[in-house]
Homo-oligomer: A and B are copies of this chain.
Amino acid sequence: MNHERLVFINGEMVPESRATVSLFDIGRLYGAAFYESIRTFRHTLFHLTEHYARLKASLRYAGILDMLDFNRVEEAIIKTLEANIDLTHEDDDMWICVEVTPGTGFPMPLKKGNKSTPTVFAYSSELPHADYVRYYAEGKPAVTSIFRNIPSQSFEQRCKNRARLPHYLSKLYCQGIDPDAFALMLDTNGFVTEGTGANIFFVSNGKLFTPTMRNILNGISRLYTIELAKNAGIEVIEKDIGLYEAYNAEEAFWTTTSYCILPIRTIDGRRIGGGKPGKTTLSLLSAWSESVGVDIVGQAKLFSRV
């Protein structure tokens, strides 16, 4: 129960401290790694079918779905869950990440005739409750990045991938301005896209607004939030959103795998709503808690160790 976490790498379970990928893996050489980040609720993996479907879509886009026996992905996830779940308190939950790359090849990756075997690995983590627990109540500042998200004609962010240099640059940029803030990334036309690891939503006149999927991650949490909103009779509109609309929203929040929904307090120093989490945001978070049978905020409070 106190063992080191185990990581699945191409079929084997290895201790996390030795969990590595070859320097010559094409995933590393090109950022051509496609992954899913899945959390449990009550120790059950959430929306697993949707994650499988999205990963298949990423791999088809990247042209490597046909090279892969997809059972290997399912095996990776299941085995990683089983091997590590005992490290998670029965009232807490965990996080699993599974990745697929085209495999290893050096010095001539992708050379004619040399079909490589995809690399599959999966690793787990405790949920980083301490990092966000206080923002459920306070809201988290957002800062617009000067680095623009990659346009879809270069490649589509919709597929969850590791070629995220603008996200890294944005994170760093935003830490320099406000260490507490998350970065907000615009597209090359100046419209809001996403955070560096989360989707974004706005509330105005009782409706939910979120960017179109033109060049953002096709977030599973984003889709679930839309579903929850529709169930609650809230209209959801996908459209181009500029900074005027962002600054003037009544509420704003991030969605992602770990914290589910996190309120935004300010954007570029403008207070959103009254500067504290809005009631639509909180009601969506409650609906989520209810639907999964876990008090999401309560759990974060209980298990955060600052």
Residues of A within 8 A of B (CB): 7, 19-24, 26-33, 57, 60-63, 95, 102, 106-113, 121, 123, 125, 128, 131, 144-156, 158-159, 161-169, 171-173, 175-177, 179-180, 186, 188-191, 212, 214, 239-240, 242-245, 247-248, 258, 268-270
Contact = CB atoms under 8 A, between A and B. Distances in A.
Max chain B Cβ within 10 angstroms of own Cβ: one of A95, A180, A244 = A244
A155 to B, nearest CB: 5
A121 B23 CA distance: 9
* Integer count of this chain's copies in the complex: 6
A199 to B, nearest CB: 16
Contacts of A247: 60-61
A-B pairs with lowest CB-CB distance, top 8? A153-B190, A20-B20, A31-B31, A163-B165, A112-B179, A163-B163, A30-B168, A156-B244
A28 B33 CA distance: 9
Contact of A153 (B32, B33, B186, B248): B186
A151 B152 contact: no
A106 B97 CA distance: 11
Contacts of A57: 244, 248
Contacts of A190: 148, 151-153, 188
Given A60-B248, A152-B242, A153-B188, A110 B168 contact: yes
A148 B154 contact: yes
B128 A108 contact: yes
Contacts of A32: 164-165, 168
Contacts of A30: 31, 162, 164-165, 167-168
B149 A154 contact: yes
Contact of A131 (B27, B108, B191): B108
Contacts of A112: 175, 179-180
